Amino acid sequence: MIARLLIPVIVLTVLPYLWIDRKYLHIPKGKRKILYWLPAAIVIGYTAYLTLEPDFLPANPVFIDIWFVMMALLAVPQFVFAFTSFVGWECMKLSRRFKAKKGDGRFGGSVHRARNWGKLVGIILAVWAFFSFIYGFTMGVRQFQVKHLTVYVPNLPEAFEGYRIVHFSDIHVGSYYGWRRHMPQRDVDSINAQHPDLICFTGDLQNVRPEELVPFKKTLSGLKAKDGVVSVLGNHDYTYYMNVDDEAEIRRIEEKVQLTEREMGWHLLMNEHFVLHRGKDSIYVAGTENFKKPSRAEVAQALYGIQKGQFVLMLQHIPEMWKDMTPSRINEIYGSKDSVLVAPQLTLSGHTHAGQVSVLGLRPSMFSTFDYGLYEREGCQLYTTAGLGGTIPIRIGATPEIVVITLKRK
């Protein structure tokens, strides 16, 4: 991950320091100049050091925390201030030119004597950015909510009226250590306290390596529901973020993750389905592997044999896949002459983390497809959860959640 960010980090660190020096400080060459540029050099040097890691993330999560704090202190506030003051400066020049063309002599004089409101706004936003990052890294990531949602669905058998599902996702246990180590136990206790009929996990149990799961295996084995725990794999649950080329080693590592989930008592669905019974009534629970990067999802295989008119609950890590699982699309995309597929009435997904940062409803994931919340198309519904964790442990506004879904007949 850090390797992918090296060039942007260099550019977005150097340019703000350069702008602040040229426009405001005018530091002459010498020791003062070296001291001024030292924080930028530390950020770039440490980022470059992390790129030497062979995998997506360092094995020790402390290295990522150090990088994150370093960015919050030495790079982000400077970037926010420089960007805002630059915009203010350009707006100020445009305003002068416009007023000069109108011939208003009151606006004569040097542009440097005019007030750059972007500078003041930049100082305020830089301070806000610093404290927001510190909050998101410490308190924000520890926030937690139990969200209750009633979903009205067609074809729900009478015996399943009021059926309670707890949906959670993206726990990323590799990010939990030190003062965060207790958080998975909190999550498990909160899920069990809902007394669910079924618990659904929609992927990204780990960050990179199956070894991350070992300290939390006993805790996660404590999840209890009448019909058990059902799960699917997310993009982080494969070897996609590891520097491994040998096919036998890839299979060994990925099977280790799958075995761990099964040893915890979870029903891992890999392009398959099973049936839940209540007396004479039944519903189907299907699950596909990851949709892309790596692309392992086989919708036709997961739904094969389910008859029209049956209620289907589908688990898929990436919500983008849902656009092709509505009644008008599913057979066109995934069906065949030998198999007419039933569109799942309810699909549960994760992956987006609701952007992890949300300010006034604006979040980085908002440009993604179905990034957070409940969606409906052609009588079918999708819920994308904000999840519980992340490879980088920060939350501002996008509160970690578990979702209690109560099914009602439509």
Q: What is the pLDDT of residues 117-139, one digit of tens each?
A: 888 999 999 999 999 988 998 89
Q: Which of 91, 122, 138 is the last residue of a domain?
A: 138
Q: Mean pLDDT across the stretch 7-31?
A: 91
Using H for helix, E for strand and C for coil, what is the string for the chain?
Answer: CHHHHHHHHHHHHHHHHHHHHHHHHCCCCCHHHHHHHHHHHHHHHHHHHHCCCCCCCCCCHHHHHHHHHHHHHHCHHHHHHHHHHHHHHHHHHHHHHHHHHCCCHHHCCCHHHCCCHHHHHHHHHHHHHHHHHHHHHHCHHHCCEEEEEEEEECCCCHHHCCCEEEEECCCCHHHCCHHHCCHHHHHHHHHHCCCCCEEEECCCCCCCCHHHHHHHHHHHCCCCCCCCEEECCCHHHCCCCCCCCCHHHHHHHHHHHHHHHHHCCEEECCCEEEEEEECCEEEEEEECCCCCCCCCCCHHHHHCCCCCCCCEEEECCCHHHHHHCCCCCHHHHCCECCECCCCCCEEEECCCHHHCECECCECHHHHCCCCCEEEEECCEEEEECCCCCCCCCCCEECCCEEEEEEEEEC
Report yes or no on 184 lying in a domain: yes
Report yes or no on 87 lying in a domain: no
Give the pLDDT confidence score for residue 60 in this predicted structure: 84
Q: Mean pLDDT across the stretch 366-373?
A: 93
Asked if 127 and 15 sit in the same domain, the reply is yes
Report yes or no on 376 lying in a domain: yes
Domain assignment of residue 342, given as a range: 145-409
Q: Is residue 79 very low, low, confident or very high in pLDDT (cuts 50, 70, 90)?
A: very high
Give the pLDDT confidence score for residue 103 in this predicted structure: 63
Asked if 354 and 402 sit in the same domain, the reply is yes
Asked if 325 and 210 sit in the same domain, the reply is yes
Give the integer Cα–Cα distance in Å for 30 and 32: 6
Asked if 150 and 25 sit in the same domain, the reply is no
Q: Mean pLDDT across the stretch 348-361?
A: 94
Asked if 152 and 243 sit in the same domain, the reply is yes
Report yes or no on 91 lying in a domain: no
Asked if 73 and 150 sit in the same domain, the reply is no
Give the pLDDT confidence score for residue 94 in this predicted structure: 80
Asked if 305 and 184 sit in the same domain, the reply is yes
Report yes or no on 255 lying in a domain: yes
Asked if 58 and 108 sit in the same domain, the reply is yes
CATH of the domain at 190: 3.60.21
pLDDT at 362 over 50: yes
| Count: domains in the chain | 2
Q: Is residue 273 very low, low, confident or very high in pLDDT (cuts 50, 70, 90)?
A: very high
Q: Which of 138, 163, 184 is the last residue of a domain?
A: 138
Predicted TM-score (pTM) of this structure:
0.89
Q: What is the pLDDT of residues 155-187, one digit of tens each?
A: 899 999 999 999 999 999 999 988 889 999 999
Report yes or no on 66 lying in a domain: yes
Asked if 112 and 197 sit in the same domain, the reply is no
Report yes or no on 88 lying in a domain: no
Report yes or no on 94 lying in a domain: no
Asked if 181 and 72 sit in the same domain, the reply is no
Asked if 115 and 181 sit in the same domain, the reply is no
Give the pLDDT confidence score for residue 108 in this predicted structure: 47
Asked if 221 and 294 sit in the same domain, the reply is yes
Give the integer Cα–Cα distance in Å for 55 and 58: 7
